[in-house]
Structures are given as C-alpha cells and as structure tokens.
C-alpha cells in the first residue's frame, strides 16, 4: 500500500486551513439566521412556526445533499465539491441579506436562500472530513478530527458574539450588512479550494473498488455490518444530544429561568459553544493516547448529569452552568464516532457520508422532540396543578421537562459504545495491520486513533513487508508479520514537493 501525497508542504498547510474554515463556514450558515428571528417576526410579520420551518428546511436539505454527495462527490472531485459548496454558502448568505431587504417577497426569498446555503453545508459535511483525513503531518504529531470539528464551535461562538455586538452597536436594521460581511469567509474559501492542489487518486481507486463489489466500504457492505450500524446509532445520538441543548439553551434561559435575553444568549448557547470547542481542541491536541471508548462512556454519563442538573436545579445560575458544561460533555461525541468508524472501516466519502446523514437526522429529531415534549408538558390540568405546586409557570415546567427527557440520547449512546467491535486480531486480507483499516488507499493513519487509545503511524510511501504490512509503527497481529518484518524494503526518500 502506498500513500499518494504529492501536493507539497505549502498546499498541505492551505488545505488544512481551508478545512478548518469549512467547518467555521458551516457554523455561520446554521447559527446566523436564528439570531434574526425576532427582527424577522417584528418587521416582516413572519410567525414562529414559519421561522421554525427555516431550520427544518436547512437540515432536511443538508440530509438530501449528504445522500447525493455520497454517490457523486468522488466523480466530480472532492476539491471541486468543496469549492462549489463554499460558493453555494456565499450565494445563499448574500440572497438571505438581499431578498427581504430589497424585494416584496421576504419569506419565499428566505426559503430560497436557506436551501442554497444548506446545499453548501451538506456538501461540506461530506467532503471536508475525507479531504482532511488524507493530509499528512510532515513529521508533526497528528491533529485528529476532534480538532477539525472544534472550528465549528469557534465559528458558532464567533457568530453569536460578533453578530450580537454589531446588532447592538449598529442597530437591528443593519442585519443585512452584517450578513454580507459574514459571506466573505465562504467566498475566500471558495477561491482557496479552487486553486489548491489535491491528489484524489486514492478516493477514485476506493470508488472503483466499491463499484466492483470488492470493497468492504461499499454502501451494501456497510449496512450489513453490525459495527457500522452501531456507529450510526452513536452519531445520531451525538447530534441529538448536542442540538437538544444548544438549540434550546437561549429559550430555556429566557423562559425557563427568567434570565435577560442578552445574558441568556451569552451564558447559554455562547458558553455552550466555548466549552464544546475547548473539549474538541483538547481531545485533538492532547488526547492521542486516550481510550476513545472509555472517554465516550464518561462523556455520555456527564452529559446525562448536565441535562438532569440544568432541568431540575432550582437555582438559575446552577442551571446555566450545567447548560454550558453540557457543551464540554458532548464535545467529543460526534468526532469520536467518525474517528471510530474511519479506524474500523476507512476514511472515505461513503463512510463519512452516511454517518453525516444520520448525524443530521439526530440534529433534527433531538431539538424537535424537546420542543414537542415541552408543548405537551406545559398543557393540561395536571401541568397547571404541578406548576402551581412547584411555584413556576406551565411554560417553565414544559421546557424543563422537555430537556430532562432528552437525557435518553446520551444514555443510548453510552450503551451503544459497548456494542462497538474492533477488527479481530489476525483479520488480514487487504487490511493494514498497522492501522486496523480495511485497505484505505493511502490515507495517513496517524490521523486516526484506535478506539482503545493506541495511535498509528503514517505509512511511508512504498514501504512494505512480505506479509503486506505497511511500515511505520506496525503492531503485528500474527506471528507471520513478526517474522517477515525483517524483510522490510524501504525505497529511497522522494521529494514530495510540487512537481
């Protein structure tokens, strides 16, 4: 097996920065519009149910695009898809600013804009992960998917802080100018992906294997594999655990805890994003030797504690503190599910694509269930009697109980971790015994961390053993590997700069 990294050190750095900016862009398109909802309601007369439809359209469009991109992203090219995705995000943000401001059809224009930038968001989610997974580290310690996904959190926090500050300084009427300002980020990243070099032969070979039926990461093979189903359950629950709190934190602070809206936004979703980003960055930088499965169990347990404490504490400060700390508890869930799947199978658009679909499904189901349960719990005679006994309003009771029930998602995630099965020792075939991956076509395995906490070294180009193992940190899985390791043949170093 050979790695195919011929892009050059400068291009590697640009690609890594572009991938980070891609997740920052995703945070913009998901979190910016909801900050304008009150202004949209007061100015354009758009009722809350129609505003909520904008969020639904966003995630449903992303799920649809996730499914399409699994099939066509490699054919088009991962780099081209990334450029197209950012261009769609740029165009959607510009239209979101211009349609309501300069036309007589504000709401239909918003729907068109949301669909357009959601197409970009769905495409980004499918192609950025495999692009990032192919980048070598040039001798430095690996920076895993947790660090990459932390940039979504920094983007979310930046959008909330900067937009709230600018709206207060410049006035609500300046919202459309602020939106165009945010659109510059995906525009610049469009140019970056359109001009950077990326060798995609690995992904093309993997797609050819899938078509021939010889690949273990074809869609049919994945959905027949119980371990991949476990990964799907984990990422679904990860998305639901994260979004159930982040999407309702502001409402919970204002209605459930009677906290000022500005204070609630800053201490609720903003601090939630900060702790989530902090957890992902720490896991990416310092968690190389940690056991991911054990960390997921601990994170799930702590997440349940956060939901219980936030919902049941009579003290508003304590509830807000656990809302924020919930961000820390969910921080490793999504990237760890991706990391475990990539280590067990391969870091391909197919593997990541289906996980993104079900992850987005969790992002839709989680907050929707919380909202519906809040409506149910705040209505009826029993709710009225119970709220009087507790000294709170029915609305406060509803949102508290709605969040309380959401603890079921981290509970299911914690249970599912115990059903994750690593590749059995001695299972060879096309497998690289250094990485535990099915033939991953040259993806540098130092980017991935084994669920048991072990790390794998990047495969040097052309370095092989008689038993088919790649060199570089190979932990042999049978006696033959150990005996034949003496026969390693390493070709002379080759210049990997721009050719």
pLDDT tens per residue, range 444-457: 444 445 565 554 43
pLDDT at 376: 83
Residue burial 301-326, b: 16+ Cβ < 10 Å; e: rest: ebbbbbbebbbebeeeeebbbbbbbb
Residue whose token pair is 């902090």: 278
At residue 453, the pLDDT reads 54
Residue 206: the pLDDT is: 52
- pLDDT mean over 77-87: 92
Q: According to the model, what pLDDT value does residue 268 have?
A: 79
For residue 173, CA distances in Å to 42, 46, 105, 165, 385 come to 12, 16, 18, 14, 43
Q: What is the pLDDT of residue 450?
A: 56
In CATH terms, the superfamily for domain 1-215 is MFS general substrate transporter like domains (1.20.1250.20)
The owner of tokens 């924020």 is 324
pLDDT of residue 96: 95
- Hey, what are 256's tokens? 């459930």
Q: How far is CA 252 from the centre of its chain?
A: 24
pLDDT band for position 201 (50/70/90)? low
Q: According to DSSP H, which parts of 226-344 are helical?
A: 226-246, 249-251, 261-265, 271-286, 292-312, 316-330, 333-344
Bigger pLDDT: 415 vs 8: 415
Q: Let me know: does 377 contact 390? Beta carbons within 8 Å.
A: no
Show the CA angle centred on residue 356, arms to residues 237 and 155, nearest 5°: 90
Model's pTM, two decimal places?
0.72
CATH class of the domain whose range is 216-421: mainly alpha
The residue that leads in pLDDT, 38 or 32, is: 32
Instruction: Quote the CA–CA distance of 388 and 396 in Å, as a whole number.
Output: 11
Position 200 scores a pLDDT of 60
- Torsion-angle region of residue 391: left (phi > 0), alpha (psi -120 to 50) or beta? left
State the pLDDT at residue 498.
Answer: 41
pLDDT digits (tens, 9 = 90+) for 285-319: 777 777 888 999 999 999 999 999 999 988 888 99
Position 141 scores a pLDDT of: 35
- Return the structure tokens found at 271: 């601090």
Per-residue tokens: 411: 């509970």
Evaluate the CA torsion angle 125, 128, 133, 138 in order and state its sign: negative
Residue 176 in this model has a pLDDT that exceeds 90: yes
Instruction: Check if 1-215 and 216-421 are the same fold.
Output: yes
**Annotated domain spans of the chain:** 1-215, 216-421, 428-499
Q: Say yes or no to pLDDT of 325 above 50.
A: yes
**pLDDT: which is higher, 186 or 371:** 186
DSSP 438: S
If you count DSSP H runs as helices and E runs as strands, how many of each does the chain have, helices first?
A: 21, 0
Looking at residue 8, what is its pLDDT? 54
Work out the number of other CB atoms within 10 angstroms of the CB of residue 16.
Answer: 17
- For residue 487, the model assigns a pLDDT of 46
Characterise 8 by phi-psi region: left (phi > 0), alpha (psi -120 to 50), beta (else): left
CB under 8 A, 24+ apart: contacts of 179-184: 179/32, 179/93, 179/94, 179/96, 179/97, 180/93, 180/94, 180/97, 182/28, 182/32, 182/93, 183/89, 183/90, 183/93, 183/94, 183/97
C-alpha–C-alpha distance, residues 170 and 452, integer Å: 51
Say whether 103 sits in a helix, a strand or coil. Answer: coil
CA dist 381 and 215 (Å) reads 58
Of residues 218, 53, 189, the one with CA closest to residue 121? 189
Q: Is the pLDDT of residue 473 over 60?
A: no
Query: What number is the average pLDDT over the span 396-408?
Result: 88
pLDDT digits (tens, 9 = 90+) for 177-191: 999 999 999 999 999
Average pLDDT, the chain: 78
Q: Quick check: 467 and 479 in contact, CB under 8 A?
A: no
Q: What is the pLDDT of residue 83?
A: 95
Pairwise pLDDT comparison (466 vs 412), residue with the higher score: 412
More confident residue, 391 or 425: 391
Condensed to tens digits (0 to 9), the pLDDT of residues 93-129 reads 999 999 998 988 899 999 999 999 999 998 998 889 8
């Amino acid at each position: 097996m050979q790695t195919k990294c011929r892009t050059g050190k400068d291009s590697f750095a640009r690609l890594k920065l572009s991938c980070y900016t891609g997740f920052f862009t995703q945070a913009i398109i998901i979190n910016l519009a909801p900050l304008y909802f009150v202004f949209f309601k007061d100015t354009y007369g758009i009722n809350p149910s129609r505003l909520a439809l904008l969020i639904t359209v966003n995630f449903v469009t992303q799920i649809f695009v996730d499914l399409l991109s699994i099939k066509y992203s490699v054919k088009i090219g991962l780099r081209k898809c990334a450029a197209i995705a950012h261009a769609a995000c740029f165009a959607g943000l510009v239209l979101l600013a211009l349609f309501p401001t300069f036309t007589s059809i504000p709401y239909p224009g918003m729907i068109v804009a949301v669909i357009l930038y959601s197409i970009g968001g769905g495409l980004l989610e499918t192609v950025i992960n495999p692009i990032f997974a192919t980048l070598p580290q040039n001798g430095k310690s690996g920076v895993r998917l947790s660090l990459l996904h932390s940039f979504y959190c920094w983007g979310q926090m930046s959008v909330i802080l900067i937009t709230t500050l600018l709206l207060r300084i410049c006035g609500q009427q300046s919202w459309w100018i602020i939106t165009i300002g945010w659109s510059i980020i995906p525009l610049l990243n469009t140019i970056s992906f359109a001009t950077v070099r990326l060798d995609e032969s690995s992904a093309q070979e993997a797609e050819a294997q899938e078509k021939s039926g010889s690949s273990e990461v074809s869609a049919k093979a994945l959905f027949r594999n119980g371990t991949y189903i476990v990964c799907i359950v984990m990422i679904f629950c990860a998305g639901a655990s994260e979004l159930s709190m982040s999407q309702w934190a502001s409402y919970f602070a204002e209605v459930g805890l009677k906290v000022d809206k500005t204070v609630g936004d800053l201490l609720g979703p903003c601090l939630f994003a900060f702790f989530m980003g902090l957890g992902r960055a720490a896991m990416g930088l310092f968690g190389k030797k940690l056991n991911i499965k054990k960390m997921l169990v601990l994170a799930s347990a702590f997440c349940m504690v956060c939901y219980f404490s936030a919902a049941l504490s009579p003290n508003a400060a304590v509830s807000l503190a656990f809302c924020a700390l919930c961000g820390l508890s969910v921080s490793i869930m999504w990237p760890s599910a991706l990391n475990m799947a990539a280590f067990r199978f391969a870091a391909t658009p197919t593997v990541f694509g289906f996980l993104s679909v079900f992850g987005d499904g969790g992002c839709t189901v989680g907050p929707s269930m919380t909202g519906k349960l809040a409506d149910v719990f705040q209505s009826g005679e029993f709710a009225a009697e119970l709220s009087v006994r507790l000294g709170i309003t029915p609305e406060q009771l509803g949102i508290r109980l709605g969040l309380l029930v959401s603890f079921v998602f981290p509970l299911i995630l914690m249970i599912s971790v115990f059903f994750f099965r690593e590749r059995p020792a001695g299972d060879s075939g096309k497998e690289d015994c250094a990485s535990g991956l099915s033939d991953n076509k040259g993806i540098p395995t130092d980017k991935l961390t084994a669920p048991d906490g072990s790390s794998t070294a990047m495969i040097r180009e052309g370095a092989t053993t008689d038993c088919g193992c790649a060199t570089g940190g190979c932990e042999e899985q049978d006696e033959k590997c150990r005996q034949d390791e003496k026969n390693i043949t390493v070709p002379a170093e080759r210049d990997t700069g721009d050719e």
